[in-house]
Structure 1
Amino acid sequence: MTPATVSAVPSNTDCDVLIVGGGINGCGIARDLAGRGWRVVLCEKDDLASHTSSASTKLIHGGLRYLEHYEFALVRKALQEREVLLRSAPHIMSPLRFVMPHDPSMRPAWMIRIGLFLYDHLARRELLPASRSVDLHRHVAGAALKPEFKRGFVYSDGWVDDARLVVLNALDAKAHGAEVLTRTRCVSAQREAASWTAILESEKGGQRTVRARALVNAAGPWAESFLRGVANPAHGETLATRRLRLVKGSHIVVPRLFEHEHAYIFQNADGRIIFAIPYQDAFTLIGTTDVELNGVDPGSVRISEDEIEYLCAQASRYFRLPVMPEDVVWTYSGVRPLLDDASGDPSAVTRDYFLERNTDAAALLSIWGGKITTFRKLAEDAADEVGRMLGEPRPAWSARAFLPGGRLADWIGEAARPAGDFEQFAAVIRSRHPWLDTGLTRRLAHAYGTRIAEVIGDASSMADLGEEVAPGLHERELRYLQREEWAVNADDVLWRRSKLGLRFTPVQREQVERWLQQNAI
């Protein structure tokens, strides 16, 4: 289905919708609205995906553990979205099989089997195989585990490069006409009867006034404080807000703990679970924690020593070789903005989203909660709400659409299954560009999909890619990231547009920063 065409709009506004927040929800909503023909401006005070949306466990999953909290509707919705997303961007998403070693002291086997049966059947499943029991003394995943774990269960979910997912949504929003302003803070938003007047301030100090018919508050952990401190109500009204529960989730990365491509899900004695996931070929990602935050700026969170010790200890309960704090090569933390449902346990707080519309004056839509797996459905629901508030509903379009770089059929012929399609695509790139280094070919294919043609351009040799600023990172790619993907500094490039920072030394990371500053655009 093609996006809607633009219809006549009032002339006294700069845009139809101003979106505050450049995480996965804000960028997903911008993409959906722009694809329906609405005039959209999105502002983000930092880089795209620089907070919660780049600090996930990198999973596209239904949320197996949410079944224990009877969140069947959320799990079903997430399972339905799982395959929609896998089809939309097979270069940055892929199916992943999970192994759950059975610890009889945690949950009985019959309970796990029932949970996995529900997980397999709550939504239609075409791409991913069903769950099954395995003998860990025979299965490839058993070798890395302690010998007392004899039995396990295997089930399917998916992996995603979360920060690139955000960027791809922003690229698609821009392609459909949206204006995406990074490093631009909304410092004031005055509500009037029929429009909003917002003052946007860039990090360099310049200001701009934007008039919009509707405002979408997609500020994530800052959604509540935005309504309390930035959005100004119209005369005679009170701008009510809900309360968010901010929960920190931290992860550690260690050198690779196993050679196979399965991930693990471990049950902990405290009732929680952690994942251990193959990561960036040479590493294992372990997480996450759930630590409630009070009175802390969400932008300043860091992992604590207690969290590192907790993740190491829980992983070491299962792995044959212990995971020690000194093994950790990288950590990251993010803040989940969960809608406060009065649950005592942070792990039990719902991960579902709630869209709050307010039409007391100019249209306002606030986004509360959510998870990365359901971002597309959230965006679709939000765009539906905006259309209703503006009195002009427009049809949804994104369920069958590809994200930028994800339409591989133009290169490989008819698409079949995402994982196999990507391997075919990578082979085509190798045949078309045999001069490309093999490792570089695969990294570029994963990062950019079919947009690799825009990165490589007319290059016909490694020398044509320009100076190798750091191992495997050339000038031509850096210029593309600056020109097309809003990259400004080394963190943007090395930790969000890629994870090359894991492989580079401090000196090499500084070389990238120096090049970007000397060649700023």
Structure 2
Amino acid sequence: MQTSPQTNEKIYDLAVIGGGINGVGIAADASGRGLSVFLCEKDDLASHTSSASSKLIHGGLRYLEHKEFRLVREALAEREVLLAKAPHIIRPMRFIMPHRPHLRPAWLIRTGLFFYDHLGKREKLLGSNNVYFKEDSPLNSAITRGFEYSDCAVDDARLVVLNAMHAREKGADIVTRTRCLSARRDGQYWVVDLENEHSQFQIKAKALVNAAGPWVAQFIKQDLELKSPYGIRLIQGSHIIVPKLYEGDKAFIMQNDDRRIVFAIPYLDQYTMIGTTDREYQGDPAQVQITQAETDYLLEVSNAHFKKQLTQADVIWTFAGVRPLCDDESDNPSAITRDYTLALSQENDEQAPLISVFGGKLTTYRKLAESAMQQLKAFFP
């Protein structure tokens, strides 16, 4: 997707840096409100974190264990909204959780599923129930019972592209393979220096949105030469693709001895996607790749649950992404909040505002965009 600014003399209401789900979500919301929007992405739309997810629109059942009730309630409500808005790329999916008594007692799981069924608005999706496994189950014979509930699967990259197309239809200029070199305040405007394969150019905007994902803090420090209001922790999540493990269109959510959960999800009819992992990542987010330890971990979790045993030779493909999470000083990468934080920066009333996006989930991108526009509302009466 490539449209060019009409003229370098145009002053936009909003300039958005980053073409992942949060950036295009904000662009779509702002342009839908009648604001003039410019969005640039240094690579292609959804090139990084937004296309390396587990491809789910979900409330986040495991977040209940970390007492993130607000996030789960918001995500559950958004699950219904997105399913209604985009049924061509979002579909209901049933998830089966095999019961492993030494990890979590049945009463605890049932309580969690009760909250999951009732915390948010649920109209189209079925509620949870108990399940019992027979001899023809794909699970190991020692696993005899479990629980089943509903969430949704999504084509994550298409969701990003559709939001960018919507923004463009509302008048936004969307440019890909265009890097923001720097940005500086000039009175009530931001002057943004940009570069693509053809040339360097400038645009001006009344407000700047930093939706650079894994590069959000780096963008503030290096390109804006400002101090980041929050720390960012890069958490790597990796997946493996293997030949279809079982028949049917249901997913499995597997509990592991480290108290993490791993999904096994039907993928492109012939395959199963297994993931994700959680590990601290220190390198360049653009170069992230699955490690051998992660591959071994995912194979081990799968083999502990399914009759069909997997080896390294069964791994057809892998992908990995980096989740840019707001640093809440948690010792456990799995426990770091998946909620979003928006930081509005403006030292005085005469200065052009900057809003930076830290964290966030695919499922709640619309609410994040609404929150961002609410913070910017005073600047666009």
TM range (shorter): over 0.9
Whether 2:373 is the aligned partner of 1:383: answer: yes
Q: Which amino acid aligns with 1:227?
A: I
Q: In the TM superposition, what whole-angstrom CA distance separates every residue of 1:26-76 from its partner, at most 9, and x where no partner exists? A: 001000000001000000000000000000000000000001100011100
Distance 2:306 2:9 in 1: 63
What SS does structure 2 have at the residue aligned with 1:125? coil
Residue equivalent to 1:84 = 81
Partner of residue 114 from structure 1, selected from 105, 108, 111: 111
Whether 2:125 is the aligned partner of 1:128: answer: yes
Contact 1:13 1:213 in 2 (8 A): no
Between structures 1 and 2, the one with greater helix share: 1
The within-5 A match list for 1:2-41 is 14-41=11-38
Residue equivalent to 1:330 = 317
What SS does structure 2 have at the residue aligned with 1:317? helix
The within-5 A match list for 1:208-287 is 208-232=201-225, 239-287=227-275
Residue equivalent to 1:442 = none
Q: In the TM superposition, what whole-angstrom CA distance separates every residue of 1:147-180 from its partner, at most 9, and x where no partner exists? A: 1110110000000000000000000000000000
Partner of residue 148 from structure 1, selected from 142, 145, 160: 142
Contact 1:191 1:231 in 2 (8 A): no
Residue equivalent to 1:168 = 162
Structure (1 or 2) with the larger CA radius of gyration: 1
Q: Which amino acid aligns with 2:261?
A: I
The within-5 A match list for 1:36-51 is 36-51=33-48
Q: In the TM superposition, what whole-angstrom CA distance separates every residue of 1:457-516 from its partner, at most 9, and x where no partner exists? A: xxxxxxxxxxxxxxxxxxxxxxxxxxxxxxxxxxxxxxxxxxxxxxxxxxxxxxxxxxxx
Residue equivalent to 1:401 = none
- After TM superposition, the score normalised by the length of structure 1 is 0.70
Alpha-carbon offset, residue 242 of structure 1: 1.4
Q: Which amino acid aligns with 2:331?
A: G
Residue equivalent to 1:206 = 199
Question: Runs of 4 or more off by more than 4 Å in structure 1?
Answer: none
Identity among equivalent positions (%) equals 54
Partner of residue 74 from structure 1, selected from 71, 75, 83: 71
Partner of residue 318 from structure 1, selected from 289, 297, 305: 305
Contact 1:228 1:241 in 2 (8 A): no
Alpha-carbon offset, residue 133 of structure 1: 0.3
Contact 1:252 1:331 in 2 (8 A): yes
Q: In the TM superposition, what whole-angstrom CA distance separates every residue of 1:95-151 from its partner, at most 9, and x where no partner exists? A: 00000010111100000000000000001210101100011117xxx6111111101
- After TM superposition, the score normalised by the length of structure 2 is 0.95
Unaligned runs of 5+ in 1: 1-10, 233-237, 393-521
Contact 2:237 2:323 in 1 (8 A): yes
Distance 1:12 1:205 in 2: 19
Q: Which amino acid aligns with 1:266?
A: M
Contact 1:227 1:241 in 2 (8 A): no
Between structures 1 and 2, the one with greater strand share: 2
Contact 1:129 1:155 in 2 (8 A): yes
Partner of residue 51 from structure 2, selected from 54, 58, 66: 54
Q: What RMSD over aligned residues (CA atoms) do the two structures have, in Å?
A: 1.3
Distance 1:88 1:323 in 2: 38
Whether 2:99 is the aligned partner of 1:102: answer: yes
Residue equivalent to 2:361 = 371
Q: Which amino acid aligns with 1:151?
A: R
Contact 1:248 1:334 in 2 (8 A): yes
Q: Which has the higher contact order (CA 8 A, sep 6+)?
A: 2
